[in-house]
Structure 1
Amino acid sequence: MQNPLSQRDVETFRLASIHVETDAAATLWWGDGDRAYARSKGRPETESEELSKTPEARAFVAKLASAKISNALEQQLKPVLNGHRPVKININLRRLYIASAIQRVVVGGGHEMVADIAVVDAKTGAVLLAHPEFRAAALAGQGIGGTMLDAAFLPDPIDRRVQNFATKYRDWLAPQPTA
């Protein structure tokens, strides 16, 4: 899907706020988030899978992911959305899948994030632009070697995924002219 707005329209936008919510039916598969929840409850990480099945754990993981998504989007959009018309970016997270290291070693896998994104006029509440199911996916280091290299040299998978998502959205919303 191509951005239907002109570059001139987008240049009028000024980022006022970012709001991230998690869809009630969203898939949240992020082992590090589950383990962080277990630690926050003073429980061993080995219990994180069972603990992750509670509504409280889901809310905890959603809040952690939302903060990372919001920060990444703000970092990418603030420099390009600096016009005069205040807009809000509303994100409805539908899928967050971060393949675990074990999965990547044994069967391979990748990371994916899917969200509905709306640019909303901050004054009127009118939706100016909507992109349902905006998706960012990437393979992760595969096998023992790839997984070890990822862990040794790259940021955490969640941070890479949300940064990639934010950069991809920025490039879709406000493509930079090519030289």
Structure 2
Amino acid sequence: MSRMMGLARLAVLAGALALAGCKTIENSLSQNDVAGMKLTDISVSFAPDATIQWDDGIRAYATSKSIPDDQIATATNTPEGKAYVRNLLAQRIKAGVDKTMAGHLNGSRPVRLNIVVHSFTISPAIQRIVIGGGHGMLADANLVDARTGASIVAYPKMSVVLVVGQGVLGTAVQAAIDHASEQSTADKIASRYGDSYRDWLLRKS
């Protein structure tokens, strides 16, 4: 059993490192190019094979349908349940990225940011206690001309990771931190993604 637990922890750690270590894509735009842009919209969609691990979204769907606790797992694993969670998450991601990008693109050329999510993970407490886990998001970011839809610059599979407490003690400390925070974990991930994209686009170190 201990060997299996050790292997599980290594697998989780390897996945987190792989996500965090993705190669940075070069920004081919000049500062003048960026200065001339005006962000008019942000769209969020999901890749067909996107994976989402977000208990708050599942609970929100269950609450909206008055689904009892012992039926949540089955009732939410449906096309309707998955669509509800994706739509709710898309709103949170859009709001978080929009907030971090506000006031930074004030030119005259209208542009739109298309975000396509490949994975969004918030590891539940029990997972982080038993085998470990983390929180993060992997998504394509494509800046396009708002009039023509033509791609201007793309960052495929941009990733962000939140470092969170592991094990019994670490998870308890993390729970206290999360409880005291005004932002939910999902909102923190969305904001972190927005921060990373903004800094990349504006060439901030």
What TM-score, normalized to structure 1?
Answer: 0.92
Which residue number in structure 2 is paired with residue 116 of structure 1? 140
C-alpha contact 1:111 1:140 (8 A) present in aligned 2: yes
The Cα offsets for residues 137-168 of structure 1, whole Å up to 9 and x where unpaired, read as 23322122222222222332212111111111
Letter in 1 for 2:87: K
The aligned counterpart of 1:26 is 50
Structure 1 residue 11 displacement after superposition:
1.2
Q: Which amino acid aligns with 1:173?
A: L
CA distance in 2, matches of 1:47, 1:66: 25
| Gap runs ≥5 in structure 1 | none
1:140 aligns to what? 164
Q: How does 1:85-124 map to 2 (within 5 A)?
A: 85-124=109-148
Aligned pair partner of 1:71 in 69, 72, 95: 95
Give the Cα separation in 1 of the matches to 2:187 and 2:71. Answer: 24
Match of 1:61 among 65, 80, 85: 85
Classify the secondary structure of the residue corresponding to 1:79: coil
Q: Please name the residue that 1:153 is paired with.
A: 177
Aligned residues: 177
Distance of 2:34 and 2:115 partners within structure 1: 18
Q: Distance in 2 between matches of 1:12 and 1:53?
A: 45
AA in 2 matched with 1:15: L
Q: 1:175 to 1:46 in 2, by over 3 A?
A: farther
Structure with a larger share of its residues in strand:
1
Give the Cα–Cα distance (whole angstroms) in 1 for the partners of residues 88 and 69 of structure 2: 17
Cα pair 2:144 2:151 within 8 Å, conserved: yes
Aligned position for 1:172 = 200
Q: Secondary structure at the match of 2:110?
A: strand
For residues 82 and 191 of structure 2, the distance between their equivalents in structure 1, rounded to whole angstroms, comes to 22
Aligned CA distance change for structure 1 residues 88 and 141 (closer, same or farther; 3 Å): same
TM-score (norm 2): 0.81
Paired position in structure 1 for 2:59? 35
Q: Percent identity?
A: 40
**Higher helix fraction (1 or 2):** 2
Q: Secondary structure at the match of 2:85?
A: helix
Provide structure 2 residue ranges, at least 5 long, that are not aligned to the other structure: 1-24
Q: Distance in 1 between matches of 2:163 and 2:56?
A: 18
Deviations along 1:85-119, whole A, 9 cap, x unmatched?
11001111111111011111222110121111111
Question: 1:61 and 1:147 mapped to 2: Cα distance?
Answer: 25
Paired letter, 1:122? A
Counterpart amino acid of 1:113? M
